[in-house]
């Protein structure tokens, strides 16, 4: 697999389109941090790390509106790809939907949202947009 983060986002996107309650994703440290951010920001209900001795999996419980059955995640967009990396400094961090969405960045201080990166005054690689 050449782009595991794109695979992570695609599995979430496919699970949402098929109205699944739980999605299984192969685990990695970056995916675990991205999952924690999605939980903290309210885009998913819950997650659980399952260690099977080899790589492990992440079980992600997707979040839907109980009345309309519409997902909390409207769109997941991969920004920095293996063929063309996108980096930004602390001064030019992106605002997703004028602050309504989040950008997930990989910085020297770990994986964080664009708002946290602005507060810490760090830049990094823009992994994806979520709204």
Chunked into runs of 10 residues, the chain (131 residues) has average pLDDT values of: 94 96 96 97 96 92 94 96 96 93 96 96 97 95
Distance CA 125, CA 131 (A): 18
Predicted confidence at residue 44, as pLDDT, reads 96
Same domain, 56 and 95: no
Q: Is residue 67 part of a domain?
A: no
Name the pTM for this structure.
Answer: 0.93
* C-alpha–C-alpha distance, residues 88 and 131, integer Å: 20
| 59 and 48 Cβ atoms separated by less than 8 Å | yes
Give residue for tokens 């690689």.
125
Give CA–CA dist 67/103, Å, rounded: 28
Report the CATH number at residue 115: 3.30.1490.10
Structural domain for 58, as ranges: 4-62
Residue 116 lies in a domain: yes
Final residue belonging to a domain, choices 15, 32, 62: 62
């Amino acid at each position: 697999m050449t782009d595991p983060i794109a695979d992570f986002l695609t599995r979430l996107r496919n699970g949402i389109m098929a109205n699944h309650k739980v999605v299984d994703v192969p685990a990695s440290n970056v995916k675990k941090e991205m999952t924690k951010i999605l939980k903290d920001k309210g885009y998913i209900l819950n997650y659980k790390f399952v260690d099977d001795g080899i790589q492990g999996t992440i079980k992600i419980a997707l979040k839907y509106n109980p009345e309309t059955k519409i997902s909390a995640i409207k769109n997941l967009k991969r920004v920095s790809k293996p063929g063309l990396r996108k980096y930004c400094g602390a001064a030019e961090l992106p605002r997703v939907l004028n602050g309504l969405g989040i950008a997930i960045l990989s910085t020297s201080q770990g994986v964080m949202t664009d708002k946290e990166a602005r507060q810490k005054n760090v830049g990094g690689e823009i992994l994806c947009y979520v709204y």
